Amino acid sequence: MNREKVVVLLDEKKFMHRDDRLIILLRHVLRTPTYSLKDIIGNRLPNASNFFQYPCDVVIDERRSLLFVSDCGELNIQVFDLHSRELMYNIKTVDRPRFMAMYCDSLIFSSEDGFVYRFDLETRSEIWKSSGKMSNPCGVIVDEMRGLVFVCECGGNTIQTLSAETGKVRSILVLTPKRPTLFYNNDNIPSVSNPYGIAFSLDRNYFVVSSVVNAKIYLVDKKGKIVHSFGEHGSKPNQFNFPSSLEVSLNHLETKLLYTAKKHFTSQEDCLSIMQLVIFT
């Protein structure tokens, strides 16, 4: 059966310096991706309802057919109808919203004030604010079966686990080794510095984490051990400049392909510098 995949692309550089637009593309074939322009959302005019200053992340609520766009340049998350592209409402935030994840009938997002928030989509009100302040919380993913939220603490080099029901910190996974001592030197031990984006592996037994400092993508187990990594600074294949959000899709783990920030795709029409790619079947 032929099923279309909706692909959402968020290009930070283009939004900041060119069109300030959210580009929605349609992906037809998973193994041999072919992209065609489906629609454009965004406006450079400050008075426009779909004005973006610094769009950071996008998520889709398939059940409600809603598209969420967090704008780090504004204190809000804009909510669009996925089909009509019309602005439905704004979610006002305390500080600049960062990365988002869906959980049941709510939206969970990290904020520049150092906290993570859960917002009820039915009542359009805040459910909780995380119990502890973090140093630059970034990527957010949710394990719905276990009721857990995993947050990349970029400034603390950790992945913090929160309760999805209360927002309280359950555990903290440190991604960098201990400092060297007189009898032990860990200079050559690989570590994830400044974790930014996060996703689950297909079997959900590992984290896939991007590092903005090392320009690498890491496969990390639940104890913080690096199982595999790839990438380096640059613009060639398997090179990155600022790896940000990422998503693992079907067959990507087998082929070792990950869609991530600043990975260049060359087509007959254009070369896209991707900040965020989300695939929904």
**Is 48 among the domain residues?**
yes
Q: What share of the chain is helix, strand, coil (3-state, %, to 5)?
A: 5, 50, 45
Hey, what are 6's tokens?
Answer: 């909706």
* Per-residue confidence (pLDDT) for residue 35, from 0 to 100: 56
71 is in which domain, residue-wise? Answer: 1-92
Euclidean distance between CA atoms 57 and 109, whole angstroms = 10
Q: Which residues of 42-73 are buried (b: 16+ CB within 10 A; e: fewer)?
A: beeeeeeebbbeebbbbbbbeeeebbbbbbbe
Answer yes or no: is 44 within a domain. Answer: yes
User: Is 263 inside any structural domain?
Assistant: no
- Over the chain (281 residues), the average pLDDT of each successive run of 10 is 42 41 43 60 66 86 92 89 90 94 96 97 95 94 95 94 97 72 45 89 88 88 88 84 76 38 31 31 31
pLDDT at 48: 60
Q: Is 104 exposed, middle or buried (0-12, 13-18, 19+ CB in 10 A)?
A: middle
Comparing C-alpha atoms, which of 273, 207, 281, 267 is closest to residue 239?
Answer: 273
* Residues with Cβ within 8 Å of residue 240, at least 6 apart in sequence: 210, 215, 216, 217, 231, 232, 233, 234, 260, 261, 262, 263
Q: Which residue do the tokens 């640059």 mark?
A: 234
pLDDT at 260 (0 to 100): 37
Residue 14 located in a structural domain: yes
User: Residue 241 has what pLDDT?
Assistant: 84
Q: Please state, in angstroms and rounded to a whole number, the distance separating the CA atoms of residues 172 and 168.
A: 12
Angle, vertex CA 278, rays to CA 37 and CA 12, nearest 5: 70
Whole-Å CA distances, 240 to 3, 28, 30, 268, 274: 31, 26, 23, 22, 11
- Is 68 a member of any domain? yes
pLDDT of 205 reads 87
Residue-level pLDDT at 226? 87
Establish if 50 belongs to a structural domain. yes
For position 172, what pLDDT does the model report? Answer: 94
- Nearest-angstrom CA–CA distance, 99 and 68: 11
Number of structural domains, the chain? Answer: 1
The whole-angstrom separation of Cα 175 and Cα 207 is 11
- Asked whether residue 12 is domain-assigned, the answer is yes
For residues 195 and 85, give the distance between their C-alpha atoms in angstroms, rounded to a whole number: 32
Q: What is the DSSP letter of 176?
A: S
Cβ neighbours of residue 100 under 8 Å, at least 6 residues apart?
A: 57, 58, 59, 68, 70, 77, 107, 108, 109, 110, 140
Q: What is the pLDDT of residue 176?
A: 66
Residue 167: inside a domain: no
Structure tokens at 91: 């979610």
